[in-house]
């Protein structure tokens, strides 16, 4: 079946511009995560959605970053007034909803990422 897809695969923009990055999760996955991977680093958590709501946005670096998931499927990460330091690969992952049992884990399936370059 189809995995997680992300568009565009590459985005080059100028400092100060607005960008939108899209994530299509695996069908039926209600949990969706965004991560950011800077060059030479591991991915860092940005935000988690359960259904349509952002249940944890503690990783968003500042208020220029915002994400939505209006129908509980596709998600869009929005970055306003981009800065050169925003250049990174933005990863999306989806998973089934947790059983709620403490310590349980549902595998997160990652998309190929969007490489954002801010000039």
Partner 1 sequence: GDSVTQMEGPVTLSEEAFLTINCTYTATGYPSLFWYVQYPGEGLQLLLKATKADDKGSNKGFEATYRKETTSFHLEKGSVQVSDSAVYFCALSDWFSGGYNKLIFGAGTRLAVHP
Closest by CA to 79, choosing from 93, 90, 94, 92, is 90
Residue 62-91 contact track with partner 1, rule CB under 8 A, x = bound: -----------------------------x
- Contact stretch for partner 1 (CB under 8 A) within 19-27, 35-43, 62-70, 76-84: 35-43
The SS3 assignment for 84 reads helix
- Contact stretch for partner 1 (CB under 8 A) within 18-26, 28-36, 70-78, 79-87: 28-36
Work out whether 21 is an interface residue with partner 1 (CB under 8 A).
no
What is the rounded CA–CA span in Å between residue 90 and residue 43? 8
The footprint of partner 1 (CB under 8 A) covers 3-4, 31, 33, 35, 40-45, 48, 50, 55-56, 59, 91, 93, 95, 97-100, 102-108, 110-113
């Amino acid at each position: 079946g189809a995995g997680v897809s992300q568009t565009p695969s590459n985005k080059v923009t100028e400092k100060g511009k607005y960008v939108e990055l899209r994530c299509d999760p695996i069908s039926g996955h209600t949990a969706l995560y965004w991560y950011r991977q800077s060059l030479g680093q591991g991915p860092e958590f940005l935000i988690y959605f359960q259904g349509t709501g952002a249940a944890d946005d503690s990783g968003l670096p500042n208020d220029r970053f915002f994400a939505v998931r209006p129908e509980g499927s596709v998600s869009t990460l929005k970055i306003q007034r981009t800065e050169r330091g925003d250049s990174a690969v933005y990863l999306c992952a989806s998973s089934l909803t947790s059983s709620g049992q403490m310590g349980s884990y549902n595998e997160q399936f990652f998309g190929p990422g969007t490489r954002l370059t801010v000039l």
